[in-house]
Amino acid sequence: MIVYNYPPRTPAHKARWADAITSALANGTLQLLATDDSGWTDFYELSGRCPRCDHQLDPITIEFDVILGVEPVRARVGVFDVQCNCRAAHAGRDDQHRGCGWGGSNAVRLAVNR
Ligand SMILES: [Zn+2]
Ligand SMILES: [Zn+2]
């Protein structure tokens, strides 16, 4: 079993988590889908399985702020906390927390095309 572990906020851990999220989005383990992109803020939902512990995540809401410019902006980019929130048991975790511990201290850059 993967032990609950809160990774330190270091460049190495940040890069590792960002790479894991990027790979998971590329291979379909995670999906980032629009739920409402009609207003000032584009709402997306990140769902799928945690790249670390492979448990199902509760969907995570991602909000891309819309910046209006002269030219239509075709991409939405932001930096988000993507923290594992699986409901499975992980040794070493107290009842106040969920997930395997990864993600919260290492924000991830996400981008979508409109
Ligand atoms: Zn996890
Ligand atoms: Zn888990």
> Is a pLDDT exceeding 70 seen at residue 15?
yes
Between the CA of 43 and the centroid of ligand 2 the distance, in Å, is 25
Q: How confident is the model at residue 95 (pLDDT cuts 50, 70, 90)?
A: confident
Of all residues in the chain, what percent carry a pLDDT higher than 90?
A: 61
- The whole-number pLDDT of residue 7 equals 82
Measured in Å, residue 8 CA sits from the centre of ligand 1 at 15
44 CB burial (10 A radius; 0-12, 13-18, 19+):
buried
Question: Residue 17 Cα, ligand 1 centroid: separation in angstroms?
Answer: 11
59-88, pLDDT tens digit by residue? 999 998 766 555 566 678 889 999 999 999
How far away, in angstroms, is 71 Cα from ligand 2 center?
42
Classify residue 49 as exposed, middle or buried by CB count within 10 Å of its CB (0-12, 13-18, 19+).
middle
For ligand 2, the distance from its centroid to the CA atom of residue 17, given in whole angstroms, is 15
Q: Is the pLDDT of residue 113 over 90?
A: no
Distance 88 CA to ligand 2 centre (A): 5
Give the model's pLDDT for residue 68.
58
Q: Can you read off the two tokens belonging to residue 43? A: 């709402």
Query: What spatial distance separates the first Cα and last Cα of the chain, rounded to whole Å?
Result: 39
Q: Which residue carries 């993507």 as its tokens?
A: 82
Mean pLDDT for the stretch of residues 1-13: 88
Please check the confidence at residue 22 and state whether its pLDDT lies above 70: yes
The ranges assigned to domains in the chain are: 11-113
Q: Averaged over 1-27, what is the pLDDT?
A: 92
Ligand nearest to the CA of 24: 1
User: Residue 111 and residue 88: Cα distance in Å, rounded?
Assistant: 28
